[in-house]
Amino acid sequence: MHTETQLVQIGKNRGRITGAVSCPVYHSTAYEHPALGESTGFDYTRTANPTRQVVEQAIAELEGGEAGFACSSGMAAIQTIMGLFSKGDHLIVSLDLYGGTYRLFEEVLTRYGITFSYVDLRDLEAIEEAATPYTCGIFVESPTNPLMRVTDIRAVCERARDRGWLSIIDNTFMTPYLQRPLELGADIVIHSATKYLGGHNDVLAGLIVTKGKDLSEKVFALHNSIGAVLGPQDCWLLMRGIKTLALRMEKHQENAMALTQFLLTHPAVEEVFYPTLHSEERRIQEEQAGGYGGMLSFRVKDPVFVPEILRSLRLISFAESLGGVESLVTYPATQTHAEIPEEIRRKVGVCDKLLRLSVGIEHMDDLIGDLSQAFDRAQASIEGEGVKRDELRNSSLTQRK
Ligand SMILES: *Cc1c(COP(=O)(O)O)cnc(C)c1O
């Protein structure tokens, strides 16, 4: 079956008694036992819920894994996975990383004695240099957030496997429609399903997919023990979002490519970041993924443009998230990446001239039109300020005379 078909059919015929086409929402937290020692397969909703199970099986199939787990957020999914590690363990992590993940690692998990090294994973030798006798896991984002750097997932996972490390991929930006890390050798995939999988900026959710029976059993126990599970109503919202993933991803990508071209030629823009723009990274991306996605970043020539552009945009919202049908612009330095110390941020390239766009599914001409008018207004306002400053200086000179 093609992925598009698989996506649309999620949850159908689950209401076998009624023939419901849309999956029923089971709010029940408790499930009656037929007899002593017997179960319908459902006992208590934290352990298993019929609506949640549909979305969990769907993501496991889409990613090609053994089991899926729905969590209350992307961060809850990451925290649940981190339960696999113990005091003294060390992990190697993508240098250019979602700020909330960095905060969880550095502000919470280091207190439990787990340590992390942040490495540019495009450099395979750097992985060897960062490894210690206590390393037992590697956590990868590709393409990275916000600089869209592409990691060779297959090569990184192969190294991890050779050394007996667990490889974990945050597949939020690509989704299983474009990239399936388990097929490239990863052990675990996590998602902030709040983003493309949900797709409508209206549900907070996280997903985990595991490879193999042993690992799946361990994560099942952690999911149930920690309890950061997704509620049934949110499971249904997420399921509804996932059904249109294929159509949305195609449109997000088409628009992102058009905006990339527009930004590359605009005089106010210094640099654009999109996986097609660096030849080696493009080659890797094309080998491991079915496309480039709907996220892009760009650096403007002067930081004074930033507040003016953000003030002038009318269609594109200045808001902190990504992956929804509505286009959003983010200023990583003070929003998504504020938790990362300035020194590291600068080293990575998340500077005060960088803006990130989550390109929605609006008509591309309207998106280009909005950016274009915002750049023009920013330019005019900055020139206006300059004139005002000159006028002020001249008038004070006149007064002094
Ligand atoms: C948003 C995001 C997360 C965190 O997910 P939440 O659903 O907000 O908890 C993790 N990783 C990436 C890449 C993200 O974009």
Of the candidates 205, 227, 242, which is a domain's last residue? 242
Catalytic residue among 52, 159, 180, 195: 195
CA angle 178, 201, 93 (to 5 degrees): 55
**Model confidence band, residue 386 (pLDDT cutoffs 50, 70, 90):** low
Residue where the block lists tokens 């925290």? 79
User: Are residues 213 and 259 part of one domain?
Assistant: no
Output the pLDDT for position 390: 62
User: Are residues 235 and 97 part of one domain?
Assistant: yes
Residue-wise pLDDT for 185-242, tens only, equals 999 999 999 999 999 999 999 999 999 999 999 999 999 999 999 999 999 999 999 9
Of the candidates 242, 274, 290, which is a domain's last residue? 242
Output the pLDDT for position 399: 47
Domain presence at residue 171? yes
Residue-wise pLDDT for 62-90, tens only, equals 999 999 999 999 999 999 999 999 999 99
- Total domain count for the chain? 2
**Model confidence band, residue 401 (pLDDT cutoffs 50, 70, 90):** very low
Catalytic residue among 46, 103, 161, 282: 46
User: Are residues 180 and 159 part of one domain?
Assistant: yes
Question: What domain range is 313 assigned to?
Answer: 247-387
Calpha distance 14→12 (Å, rounded): 5
CA of 204 to the centre of ligand 1 (A): 9
User: Are residues 155 and 70 part of one domain?
Assistant: yes
Q: For the sheet with 206-210, list strands across it.
A: 67-71, 206-210, 188-192, 166-170, 135-141, 90-94, 115-119
Closest C-alpha residue for ligand 1 atom 6: 74
- Whether 46 is a known active-site residue: answer yes
Write down the pTM of the prediction.
0.93
**Model confidence band, residue 145 (pLDDT cutoffs 50, 70, 90):** confident
Helices (H), 273-363: 279-288, 305-312, 342-348
CA of 101 to the centre of ligand 1 (A): 8
User: Are residues 215 and 142 part of one domain?
Assistant: yes
Domain presence at residue 392? no
Report the CATH number at residue 71. Answer: 3.40.640.10
Residue-wise pLDDT for 153-199, tens only, equals 999 999 999 999 999 999 999 999 999 999 999 999 999 999 999 99
- Whether 187 is a known active-site residue: answer no
User: Are residues 379 and 306 part of one domain?
Assistant: yes
User: Are residues 161 and 49 part of one domain?
Assistant: yes
